[in-house]
Structure 1
Amino acid sequence: MIAVSPPTPFTPAQIRERVEQILTAGALPPIVQAGHPVLRQHAAAFDGQISDTELRQLILLMQNVMHEAPGVGLAAPQIGIPLQLAVLEDQFDVDPESAAMRHRKPLDFLAILNPRYAPLGTETAAFFEGCLSLSGLQAVVVRHKRVLLQFEAPDGRGTEQEFEGWQARIVQHETDHVQGTLYVDLAEMRSLSSNAEYAANWAEPGIGKARAGLGFLP
């Protein structure tokens, strides 16, 4: 059972102030790490706390932070802003075998506000994943293979879109962030590995070798 995250204590004025501080800092903000309270709070739904111009600037900033990291997604709480906003993009060049097994296809840049997802069907997939807010670690997470994402676009349009494979994994991971959930809450903890140990022992398209060697998902 995943704990229910408490709502952020930030007021709309405090959220706006935090955004303004980050936008005027003149440098990319750091990615906050596990243990920071903002990662364990249910972020505030976006309802106009910042202006359209500030929202566009924040989305661009988050895209730059994601690229710099580098990563395939970033949620506003990961830079200390308790707002239901995330950016997604996956243009990494991966080997064909891994791409095929993980159903990983390029994902064009997407900014989502107030996201919610629901599974489509009952199929699941288990793969290693990491997080920019848990630097240096990876673990296997079982996730829905296909999901329907409901969200608001930056222009305010209500939108829904289906995702599958690795794109669905990214969608679930980032949506969980704005609800105060980290991937380790859902992970097979016996699979938890440092990046170095993963690279040395378990770096393959699937998880069969790691499952046998670390004793999870019998």
Structure 2
Amino acid sequence: MATPSPRTPLADRIEELLAPGGPLPVVAAGAPVLRSGAERYDGQLDPALLARFVEALRVTMHAAPGVGLAAPQVGVALRIAVIEDPAPVPEEVRVARGRVPQPFRVLVNPSYESVGSARAAFFEGCLSVPGYQAVVARHAEVRLTGEDEHGRALDEVFSGWPARIVQHETDHLDGTLYLDRAELRSLSANQTVLERWAQPTPVAAAKELNFPLP
């Protein structure tokens, strides 16, 4: 009979996080784990613990609510993220932003590269930077590679809003926050975005706040 693998400090840390049950605490900007870059996942967790951790990420993302969550955002520096977007938006927003429903999926060791040179700019927020949004110009289409939680290869092209989500979450795994890529003149409190910049595109905001769009 094989001897069980010894517990690792990382596994112990995740067990501690999961112990209370329910959504996990989301780490806010300023925490070093959001800037250090995440370790490649290479079987550091046994399958049962990995499944529990992925489910906790899903629960936390839904509770926030958000459309993506990366492991560093709950204090775990592993290259794992989850995404899901029911896209409950008006038709004009769907068309302008290319926001279409995305099923729940797990991204393990993801990376992306641009497909073509087109870029799109929209207001974007982050669960780790609560209370604010800013306009970020991102690749309009990307190729995402990596694995899922079962080790199956991922190789998929995303466009529109789904491309934005996978870029945002993969950036977290590299220690990059959306503010690093944002047009800082656009930085707005959530209430201001709701009251002034709720249009499908940020054209009005760019004009009044004096920042460029691609």
Q: Does 1:196 align with 2:191?
A: yes
Amino acid in structure 1 at the alignment position of 2:127: L
- Aligned equivalent of 1:40: 35
2:115 touches 2:143 (CA, 8 Å); kept in 1?
yes
1:185-205 residue CA offsets vs partner (Å, 9 max, x unmatched): 000000000001111111100
Partner residue, 1:206: 201
Choose from 63, 72, 79 the match for 1:77.
72
* Residues 1:216 and 2:205 are matched in the alignment: no
Q: TM-score under structure 2 normalisation? A: 0.94
Unaligned runs of 5+ in 2: 1-6
Distance of 1:181 and 1:214 partners within structure 2? 25
Q: Verify the 8 A CA contact 1:15 1:82 in the aligned structure 2.
A: no
| In 1, Cα distance between equivalents of 2:205 and 2:8 | 47
Measured in 1, the distance between the counterparts of 2:92 and 2:192 equals 21
Unaligned ranges ≥5, structure 1: 1-11
The one-letter amino acid of 1:37's match is P
Kindly tell me the number of residue pairs found equivalent between the two proteins.
Answer: 207
Is 1:99 paired with 2:109? no
Instruction: Render the CA deviation track for 1:70-110: whole Å, top value 9, x for unaligned.
Output: 00000000011111000000003101101100011000111
Deviation (angstroms), 1:27: 3.5
**Once the two structures are superposed, what CA deviation does each residue of 1:134-172 show, in whole Å capped at 9, x if it has no partner?**
001000000001000001111112221110000000000
Q: Name the amino acid aligned to 2:16.
A: Q
**DSSP-derived class of the 2:8 partner:** helix
Question: What corresponds to 1:9 in structure 2?
Answer: none
In 2, Cα distance between equivalents of 1:15 and 1:116? 23
Q: Once superposed, what is the RMSD of the aligned Cα atoms?
A: 1.1
Paired with 1:166 and 1:67, the residues of 2 have a C-alpha distance of 18
- Distance in 1 (alpha carbons) for counterparts of 2:58 and 2:87: 15
Q: How does 1:121-140 map to 2 (within 5 A)?
A: 121-140=116-135
2:162 corresponding residue in structure 1: 167
Local SS of the residue matching 2:195: helix
Which is further off, 19-28 or 55-64?
Answer: 19-28
Where in structure 1 do 4 or more consecutive aligned residues deviate above 4 Å? none
1:82 alignment partner AA:
A
